[in-house]
Structure formats: C-alpha cells, structure tokens
C-alpha cells in the first residue's frame, strides 16, 4: 500500500517544513517573523531526529538530541526577543531592514 507511512514520509514532511521555515526567514521583515521561521527549521530537524530514532538507530539518542534542540530553541528565542527589544528600543521599529547601520 503506497500510503503506508515509513521513514521517508517523515523525512519529506520535514524537508517541506524546513523549506517553509527558510522561506519564512527570507520573506518576513518582522524580526519576530524571522524567529518563527527559525523555529520552523528547528522543528523540521527535530522531526528528522525522532523519525530516525524510531525507524533506524533504535535507542533514545534521537530523543535526547531533540530534547536539546528544543531547549536550545527556547534559549535562543528568549535571547532573540531580548535583542529585538533592544533593537526596537533603539530604532523604534522591528523591521529588520532598517537595522542596517552599525551604530547602536
């Protein structure tokens, strides 16, 4: 049955979400929109890790990696939003294209 789900299904799904994340990063002008894109990319990576852990290597390594990825994503989001706050405080906008000057 062609619809029976295997590893490849997860990998293709992850590839699609990854591309959408990249697209999101490229098209959004809002800094938080870019952050959302990053989260999408990380989620895509996580799907891969968990799928491989289920279908391939077996032991929980993939799970552990995914836990760390989630953890780092949370940390990164916190830091990124702090930076955006600073950015907004300086430039009064959250449009990343306006942050093209190197002075603070």
Partner 1 sequence: MKTDAVDIVLESQPDINVELNGSQIQHDLPTEEMLVNMGPQHPATHGVLRIVLRTDGEMVLEAVPHIGYLHRCAEKIGETVAPYQYIPYTDRMDYLAGMNNNLGFALAVEKLTGLEQEISKRATYIRIIFAELNRIASHLVAFGTYGLDIGAITPFLYAFREREYILDLFESACGARLTYSYITIGGVTDDLPDKFVEICSEFLDYFEPKVKEYNNLLSHNHIFVKRTADIGVITGEEALDYGLTGPVLRGSGVRWDLRKVRPHCSYDEFEFDVPVGQGLKGTVGDCWDRYIVRIQEMEQSVKIIRQALEKLRGTEGQDVLHKKGKTIKLPDDDIYFEIENPRGQLGFYVQGNGAAIPARVKARGPSFCNLCVTDKVCRDVLLADVAAIIGSLDVVMGEVDR
Partner 2 sequence: MDDLAFYIFAAVSLLSAIGIVASSNIVRSAVCLLGTLGGVACLYFVLDANLLAVIQLIVYAGGTLVLMVFGIMLTSKSPWVGFRATRGQVAGAVLVAILMAVGISTLVLTAEWSQSANAPLKTSPSVAEVGEMLLTDYLVPFEVASVLLLVVMIGAAYLARTEK
3-state secondary structure of 60: coil
For the segment 31-90, give every residue that binds partner 1 (CB under 8 A): 85-86, 88-89
- Window 13 to 32, contacts with partner 2 (CB under 8 A): 13, 15-24, 26-32
Give the residue with the Cβ less far from partner 2, 18 or 100: 18
Rounded Cα–Cα distance for residues 12 and 60 (Å): 22
Measured from the Cβ of residue 35, the count of other Cβ atoms closer than 10 Å reads: 20
Interaction of residue 91 with partner 2, rule CB under 8 A: no
**Residue 60 binding target from partner 2, partner 1, none, CB below 5 to 8 Å by type:** partner 2
Cβ-based neighbour number of residue 66 at 10 Å: 20
Between CA 33 and CA 24 the distance in angstroms is 7
The footprint of partner 1 on this chain (CB under 8 A) covers a number of residues equal to 10
User: Is residue 95 near partner 1 by the rule CB under 8 A?
Assistant: yes
Query: Does residue 41 bind partner 2 (CB under 8 A)?
Result: no
Pair of tokens at residue 20: 């959408």
């Amino acid at each position: 049955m062609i619809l029976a789900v295997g590893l490849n299904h997860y990998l293709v799904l992850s590839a699609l979400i990854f591309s959408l994340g990249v697209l999101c990063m490229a098209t959004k002008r809002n800094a938080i929109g870019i952050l959302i894109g990053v989260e999408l990319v990380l989620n895509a990576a996580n799907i891969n890790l968990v799928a491989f852990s289920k279908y391939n290597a077996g032991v929980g390594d993939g799970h552990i990696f995914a836990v760390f990825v989630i953890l780092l994503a949370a940390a990164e989001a916190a830091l990124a939003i702090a930076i955006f706050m600073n950015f907004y405080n300086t430039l009064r906008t959250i449009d990343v294209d306006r942050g093209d000057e190197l002075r603070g």
